[in-house]
Chains A and B, each alone.
Chain A
């Protein structure tokens, strides 16, 4: 159900404020900075189309995440249909997408780069739950709504993602991989 011209517009200041977060989520989904912006553009177009479905006053960011997640899933299904061998999950390993552009606040850059490489190797499904729970700090119930999955699945994906990152670090740098460099 598309919106009609009479439907009120989405609040642009809120869209602008959400934009950096949408781009970040898209980059986590696609593992590729350019494709991420294509996805955001597509998602924004869809959001305008479907704006009637947004309950004004509710969290616009979470709703935009939902819209973008659906666009991503549809695109991936289409890509799989067209090309049997495509595996978008493994493309997350492309290193460029996981670069850290500016000096991080607290941790040493090299260690965070390594962390991001490990994040890049997680399956998309675990990566996005990790981002939404840890970085966006959405509640598990909200994440379940965004992804259209049960809360229990959110929690098990989160748990697996964390365990993989922990194990990756235990294999590598030794006992205290992330040192605060204040």
Chain B
């Protein structure tokens, strides 16, 4: 290995802990760290500082954005009006967040903008897009605390929910959160595979009891949505997967849940 005569600088150390050091420079820096305990201590300290900053700042990501900002993601001022589908989707997103923070204030007005009620599948796809795309904090409680997660969601939904085990399909549970659905609170479970593809399962009590189990599939803005309604529960599986993959996963989820004793207070 050729010797690199340049001394290790402050900029080298910063780039090193940030994973941005040029590959050509890495051997010289690593060698210097191995040789110099003071430098090694400094690197360790900066790494700790990085981790702590991440931890602290990431807590903010879990805060629900206010409705006015959700609306601002859709407004197209050049047109001076709300595009039809955007209006509907903002209504869905806004109603979710309003539900989280403020109750149902303003929800009906938003849903009826443009006279286009938000479809069930579009809302599901939006919830998926909002949380599954969040790299650092897609969930409120991580899978490491699965029991606590399930206990909490069950309490909030008013019936026993379970996070299906999709490891056999290559999808590990990331965690879950509570989101406000159109009518009833919704439990959201997030799964991820090795390719970092995310899959979400939404579970909630239907507005009115269903008399037959129905399976349906839709695509909303590139997000596949596969859902089925049971007497006491609605399940929605969403992901950027093709139809066949999603249906295969849906069958596994359905099979697992069908064997569980789901007790729902009437």
Measured CB to CB, the residues of A under 8 A from B are 2-5, 7, 9, 12-17, 19-21, 23-24, 27-28, 37, 40-41, 44-45, 48-49, 100-107, 111-112, 115-116, 119, 130-131, 133-135, 137, 139-140, 155, 158-159, 162, 165-166, 178
Given contacts A5-B76, A115-B52, list 9 more A-B pairs with CB under 8 A.
A19-B73, A20-B61, A20-B134, A21-B61, A23-B60, A37-B69, A102-B140, A134-B49, A162-B46
Say which one of B26-34, B77-85, B160-168, B179-187 lies at the interface with A: B77-85
For residue B210, CB closer than 8 A to chain A, the reply is no
Taking CB atoms, residues of chain B closer than 8 Å to A134 are 18, 49-50, 53-54
Contact in complex: B49, A23 (CB < 8 Å): no
Q: Taking the complex as formed, is B100 at the interface, i.e. its CB lies under 8 A from any CB of chain A?
A: no
* 5 closest cross-chain pairs (CB), A and B: A17-B133, A13-B129, A15-B73, A44-B72, A112-B56
- Give A21 to B61 CA distance when docked, in angstroms: 7
Out of B63, B68, B74, which one reaches A41, CB within 8 Å?
Answer: B68
B89 at the interface (CB under 8 A from A): yes
CA distance A107 to B50 in the complex (A): 12
B77–A40 CB distance below 8 A: no
Tell me the count of chain B residues lying within 8 A, CB to CB, of chain A.
53
Bound form: Cα–Cα A76–B68 in Å: 23
Q: Report the bound CA distance from A134 to B50 in whole Å.
A: 6
Q: Which residue of the partner chain, among B18, B45, B86, B133, contacts A133 with CB atoms under 8 Å?
A: B18
Q: Does B62 contact A (CB under 8 A)?
A: yes
Contact between chains at B51 and A106 (CB < 8 Å): yes
B14 engages A158 (CB within 8 Å): yes
Given B48, B52, B75, B134, which contacts A48 in the complex, CB threshold below 8 Å?
B75
The CA of A7 and the CA of B133, in the complex, are separated in Å by 25
Give A96 Cβ to nearest chain B Cβ, in Å: 13
B130 within 8 A of A: yes
Give the residue name and chain of the A residue nearest to B60 (CB): A24
Cβ-defined contact, B49 with A24, below 8 A: no
Residue of chain A at shortest CB distance from B62: A102
Tell whether B119 is near chain A: CB-to-CB under 8 Å: no
Q: Does B256 contact A (CB under 8 A)?
A: no
> By the criterion CB–CB under 8 Å, are A135 and B57 in contact?
yes
Known: A41-B69, A44-B73. A107 touches B60 (CB 8 A): no
Tell me the bound Cα distance from A49 to B49 in angstroms: 38
* Known contacts A140-B15, A159-B14: A119-B133 contact under CB 8 Å: no
